[in-house]
């Protein structure tokens, strides 16, 4: 596929048009998002991969999550509204990352609770000695 940054032709399209298409995984039928970036091979003049923002943010508390990098070879079809990709591992990677961050969040909350309880016990024991 040839990407034309100036105007859309029968053989090319604008990068901005490419970025407005939804990316759908045909393996599970889930919408992965829209393209945020492209990885280019400048020497060969080819698109190596498309980049879709990952969903690894847990309730907005953690930094910008891991992007899903989908190799060009995994693109099945580019339609007028969607890009169909076949990625078995995308779902697993994104899910594992969300699970890891959720566990981290839970551990942080548990640590805060334990610290608060220790401080309360210490405070009670100090009041008894006074």
What are the pLDDT digits (tens) for 63-107?
Answer: 455 778 899 999 999 998 999 999 886 444 444 566 767 777 777
Look at residue 98 in the predicted model and tell me its pLDDT. 63
Residue 78 has phi, psi (to 5 degrees) of -110, 110
Q: What is the pTM of this model?
A: 0.55
| Average pLDDT of the residues of the chain | 76
Q: Return the C-alpha torsion angle 99, 103, 104, 105, nearest 10.
A: 100
How much of the chain, in percent, has pLDDT values that exceed 90? Answer: 17
Distance CA(95)–CA(74), nearest Å, equals: 19
The residue among 84, 92, 51 whose CA lies nearest residue 68 is 51
């Amino acid at each position: 596929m040839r990407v034309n940054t100036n105007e859309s032709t029968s053989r090319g399209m604008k990068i901005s048009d490419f970025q407005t298409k939804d990316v759908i995984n045909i393996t599970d039928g889930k919408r992965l998002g829209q393209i945020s970036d492209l990885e280019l091979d400048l020497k060969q003049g080819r698109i190596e991969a498309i980049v879709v923002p990952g969903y690894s943010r847990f309730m907005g508390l953690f930094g910008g999550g891991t992007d899903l990098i989908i190799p060009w070879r995994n693109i099945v079809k580019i339609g007028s509204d969607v890009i169909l990709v076949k990625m078995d591992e995308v779902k697993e990677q994104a899910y594992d990352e969300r699970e890891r961050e959720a566990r981290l969040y839970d551990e942080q909350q548990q640590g805060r609770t334990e610290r608060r309880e220790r401080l309360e016990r210490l405070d009670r024991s100090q009041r008894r000695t006074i």
